[in-house]
Structure 1
Amino acid sequence: MSVDVPPDDYNLDDNEERSMIEPGSYDDPKLKELIDILMEWVNDVLAPERIIVKHIEEDLYDGMVFHKLIEKLTNNTLDVQEVTQSETGQKQKLRIVLNAANHILGLSRYGPHKWSVESIHSKNIVAILHLLVALARHFRAPIRMPENCIISVVIVQKRDGQLNHRIVNEELTGTFDDLGLRCERDAFDTLFDHAPDKLQVVKRSLVTFVNKQLNKINLEVGDLESEFNDGVYLCLLMGLLEGYFVPLHHFFLTPKTFEEKLHNVTQSFELMMDAGLAQPKARPEDIVNSDLKSTLRVLYNLFTRYKNTH
């Protein structure tokens, strides 16, 4: 398959990458619907500001719309310049706005994230959509996004002066319920609804599995519901299972606030995905709120992968 690479992408530095939507994906009705719904949501939120988004790449790349959107959604003022014309000023503003967004979403400052200053400022629609979807889900936007919107993305890389490309599938949305949560019914729904005795057996097995690892550093858990809600044990557990030390500056060892706990849980999810595990079928917020079913799903995912790890 031949791919037309826009002229801008010939300006890559060696080993630099750039991604773009494969042209055929623009015809995907789910992508069109997702863009329309997200633009309508942004325009509804920003109606009091008299801001109207007409084109998702052209209107969101400089940070101004994201700046106003985050202020409206959080009822907090960001300390950034209102209007910036220069590229340097726009990127400085974007950096502040994205740091605020990442903090709200409970993401690590150090990444990797599905969006960045460079990707958004270069009008990368994939990065822009990922951020909008994340904000819409986090703030429980009253919208129904199309499920399983998966597009083809062309990734161009310059190596030894030559442009190379590969095509990957990128999931913009998964499966959601009415609250924006991923919603495949699974074994834990059945256990909670119909088999409380079996549920207790599963809980005991998971406690044994977890303590087998945590005992190595003289720690132990007894209550799965409350002892994982700050994310500390999840981060330590991933390090033990994968055989590395999680740097203490990557997470809060004694988190006090909801935001610090959310950061920890999100960091542990990133470590899981770095290890090749699927994205957990739980939201970090649900773990922090001591939702037992969500906690069990995450731990069981680790159990199935690492149950034979000594």
Structure 2
Amino acid sequence: MEADVVENPKEEDTVNTEISQGEKQKVIQPAFLEDPELEKLKQVLVDWINRTLKTEHIVVQSLEGDLFDGLVLHHLLTRLADVQLTVEEIAVTTTAQIRKLEKILPVLDKRLGLQNSSQIKWNVKLIHNKDLLATIHLLVAMVRCFEPRLDLPAGVKVKVVIVEVTKDGMKSEEQTEVLTEESKTGSDSLSNTEGEDPIEKLLKLEAHKVNTVKKAIVHFVNQHMSTLGLQVTDMDRQFADGVILLLLIGQLEGFFVPLCDFYLTPVNQSEMLHNVTLALDILNDIGMLLSSVDPQDIVSRDITATFKILYSLFKKHKGREERGQTQEEEISNRK
């Protein structure tokens, strides 16, 4: 794991991975460690962690290798659940790392609604021993709880060997372990439609319906940009350089984006990409998670990506404005 602020110290103590008598341990069969679907799931989880902790200047490269000491889990718990724990920021020794995990995991399990031990597929020993299976189970549960809209690869399964030490020796058995559930298809297509991205659903409608929504969003944008002397007439094109997008976010959220932080008159793709990336980072910081939007798509004038951002802003602030008007009317009527 890389970090701009602090470096994760090297493990000084030897980790004990021996299995005690009566204990069972699941191990992914080596052939499945290179399974494309498993690799895809791992990468999605790594990207999610890095995006979530970007402002913390923490970069994860390996799930099992970078989560064992509790640093990343601590920051995720703080960021996603707003839980403040008094623990060591950097635990160097094995004892300190285990002590840290012993404080973090029970709180995390409670936040995940998994107080029944039969539902929990991880523990302090497994996480600290860099058990990939347990680490993935934990992260998938966190995504399902804290960011359910994140699109995880569906139907990811691996073959595992369950090893158990008994008084008569060691025995093992094989079974299939489900990491993510199958997606619903066929007769459940209605459920899929309901879970589909609203913008992608919208763009499948007739052209006149799409244009109606476009006009509503453009009108909303211009209402807030008029004070800056700016007007949007071409939604497909005018947001590509990130300038109007940054100014719009500032207007809606009530803060000023320093001009020194972005290019007011970008002259190339690199400067445009800088602006759009900054805009998405700001939206992420204020809790508007747009994980499916890539900055390059905006620069490339991808209407779906642009639509997703503007629709999210429109939905959030239009609803707030309508609630404010309703409250004003209620106060007026009382008078």
| TM-score, L = length of structure 1 | 0.52
Paired letter, 1:149:
V
Alignment equivalent of 2:176, drawn from 169, 176, 183: 169
Q: Does 1:129 align with 2:130?
A: no
In the comparison of the two structures, how many residue pairs are matched? 176
Q: Does 1:38 align with 2:45?
A: yes
Q: Does 1:60 align with 2:67?
A: yes
**Aligned to 2:26, what secondary structure does the other structure show?**
strand
Greater RCO, CA 8 A, separation 6+: 1
Q: Does 1:48 align with 2:64?
A: no
Alignment equivalent of 2:100, drawn from 93, 102, 114: 93
Q: Please name the residue that 1:261 is paired with.
A: none
**Aligned to 1:164, what secondary structure does the other structure show?**
strand
Alignment equivalent of 1:158, drawn from 153, 158, 165: 165
In the aligned structure 1, how far is the partner of 2:182 from the partner of 2:20?
A: 38
**CA shift at 1:63, angstroms?**
1.2
Q: Does 1:27 align with 2:34?
A: yes
Rate the CA distance shift 1:167–1:131 in 2: closer, same or farther, 3 A.
Answer: same
- Unmatched 5+ stretches in structure 2: 1-15, 192-335
**CA shift at 1:141, angstroms?**
5.2
Is contact 1:175–1:184 with CA below 8 Å preserved after alignment? Answer: no
Alignment equivalent of 2:23, drawn from 16, 32, 36: 16
Is contact 1:63–1:94 with CA below 8 Å preserved after alignment? Answer: yes
Paired letter, 2:158:
I
Alignment equivalent of 1:114, drawn from 115, 118, 121: 121
- Which runs of 4 or more aligned residues in structure 1 lie more than 6 Å from their structure 2 counterparts after TM superposition? none
In the aligned structure 2, how far is the partner of 1:185 from the partner of 1:121?
A: 43
Question: Which whole-Å deviations, capped at 9, do the CAs of 1:129-183 have from their partners, x for residues lacking one?
Answer: 011001111112553211000111111111225222111111000035xxxxx78
Taking the TM superposition and a 5 Å limit, the aligned residue runs for 1:1-310 are: 11-108=18-115, 110-140=117-147, 143-160=150-167, 162-176=169-183
Q: Please name the residue that 2:282 is paired with.
A: none
Q: Which has the larger radius of gyration?
A: 2
Which shows bigger deviation, 79-88 or 93-102? 79-88
| TM-score, L = length of structure 2 | 0.49
**CA shift at 1:101, angstroms?**
1.1
Paired letter, 1:69:
L
Question: Which whole-Å deviations, capped at 9, do the CAs of 1:192-215 have from their partners, x for residues lacking one?
Answer: xxxxxxxxxxxxxxxxxxxxxxxx
Is contact 1:102–1:109 with CA below 8 Å preserved after alignment? Answer: no
Q: Please name the residue that 2:277 is paired with.
A: none
Is contact 1:103–1:109 with CA below 8 Å preserved after alignment? Answer: no
Question: Which whole-Å deviations, capped at 9, do the CAs of 1:224-269 have from their partners, x for residues lacking one?
Answer: xxxxxxxxxxxxxxxxxxxxxxxxxxxxxxxxxxxxxxxxxxxxxx
**CA shift at 1:115, angstroms?**
0.8
